[in-house]
Amino acid sequence: MLNIARFAARATLVGASETIQRTTACYFHRSSIIQSSGSNPGRFEDKPEFPGSRSQYVSKLEFIEPESQEGIPVYRVLNREGNIIEESEDPKLPKEIVTKMYRDMTLLNTMDKVLYESQRQGRISFYMTNYGEEGTHMGSAAALDPSDLVYGQYREAGVLLWRGFSLDQFMNQCYGNAHDLGKGRQMPVHYGSKDLNFVTISSPLATQMPQAAGSAYAFKLQKKDNVVICYFGEGAASEGDAHAALNFAAVLDCPIIFFCRNNGYAISTPTKDQYRGDGIASRGPGYGISTIRVDGNDPFAVYNATKAARKTCLSQNRPVLIEAMTYRIGHHSTSDDSSAYRSVDEVSYWDRQDNPITRLRHFMVNQGWWDEEAEKEWMLDARKRVMKAFAEAEPRKRPSPEELFNDVYDELPPMLQQQMKEMKEHVMQHKEHYPLEQYEKMT
């Protein structure tokens, strides 16, 4: 330290520039060499000030092993019998909200059954069910404001249902008919609704994550009183876009809820082959993100966590990560046969022992809000509603071929006008090869 002081004095004596003097003074101010207190005031002690870390020096060589860290606990409110575990954690939701949760969960389940069978019969090209994960949908959706922006993956249909996406709209999208909001341009289950603040789903995994972080940053700059919620699976968390999004949101303090549905399988890849750490939640603190792990089959736990996360995002302008532990009871999609990589007994166990629909029904029965008669009446009604929407969507014509060129630019440019003209001429010249009766008429 004395040598540094002599250097400072010498620099001044030989007429060093003011810049050098300021730099030297700054070095003194930020030096990591500090005098220790205690019986030996002349002793000095090193303390690390490396940028980007918070730690202490140690003299023992020791690697941090993953097994040495305790697993992140799973927060829950309802047990499997539908009883509140800790009274202080009861969200005290009114009967109307809980009933809507249950009705929407079972309605989604009914729609899944009908559309899955429709694909098997060749009526639609593709489908993905939500079996077993309904609690993550309704619990989180109920805790959000309708004006909050949602980025989904492809297994969050319940969030849209909660917000008011009708059965007709679901059916029209899966059939790709002329009433579809996307005009038949997307695969089935790739929903979207500008009115309901739900960004259209993309097939590639995790592409929604950096987009969601960017939207949240825009909300911050605009000082909006809203958050963004981004849903993704544990498989998507292995994509590079996931790292980019989490780091971006943390560094720029974006008001976004990252909601990971950890359902045990990324298509056919089990979690044991997906990562070695303690799930996805363990990554949050490493990014500097507040994190919680919840029981995804407990809609009340999901509700409480999402509500608290939203409050944190708004009051502190920073991201939150929620990992909802659940189980995918259905196949990944109609293109998958999960019996090739998991046993029927395993699936049956989760369906019978820890189904979110069953758990919430137990709670409602315990409260005296539901009984067998109400269950029978509602399930019949739900089936009728789904079949009505199904019957109306199937015969509807497909969008006009002209829609291929619309919604690309605000105004159709000359090059696309020419392409449309050539397409029409070609189709009309060879119309015997095109089933035009199945499409809306071209102008």
149 vs 169: CA distance, rounded Å: 19
- Classified as helix, coil or strand, 361 is helix
Q: At what angle do helices 208-222 and 240-251 cross, to 10 degrees?
A: 10
| Catalytic hit among 45, 49, 81, 117 | 117
- Helix (H) and strand (E) counts for the chain? 14, 10
One-letter amino acid at 430 equals: H
| Catalytic hit among 234, 333, 338, 403 | 333
| Catalytic hit among 133, 215, 332, 403 | 332
Q: Could you tell me which of 257, 254, 242 has the C-alpha nearest to residue 302?
A: 257
| Catalytic hit among 203, 335, 339, 343 | 203
Told to judge if 203 belongs to the known catalytic residues of this protein, a careful annotator would answer: yes
- Classified as helix, coil or strand, 193 is strand
Told to judge if 333 belongs to the known catalytic residues of this protein, a careful annotator would answer: yes
Tell me the CB-side half-sphere exposure of residue 114, using CA atoms within 13 A: 23
Told to judge if 117 belongs to the known catalytic residues of this protein, a careful annotator would answer: yes
135 vs 94: CA distance, rounded Å: 17
124 vs 121: CA distance, rounded Å: 8
The residue assigned the tokens 């007429």 is 15
Told to judge if 332 belongs to the known catalytic residues of this protein, a careful annotator would answer: yes
- Classified as helix, coil or strand, 21 is helix
Q: Could you tell me which of 238, 234, 230, 264 has the C-alpha nearest to residue 131?
A: 264
CA distances from 287 to 68, 206, 249, 307, 400 (A): 20, 17, 9, 22, 48
Catalytic sites, residue numbers: 117, 203, 332-333
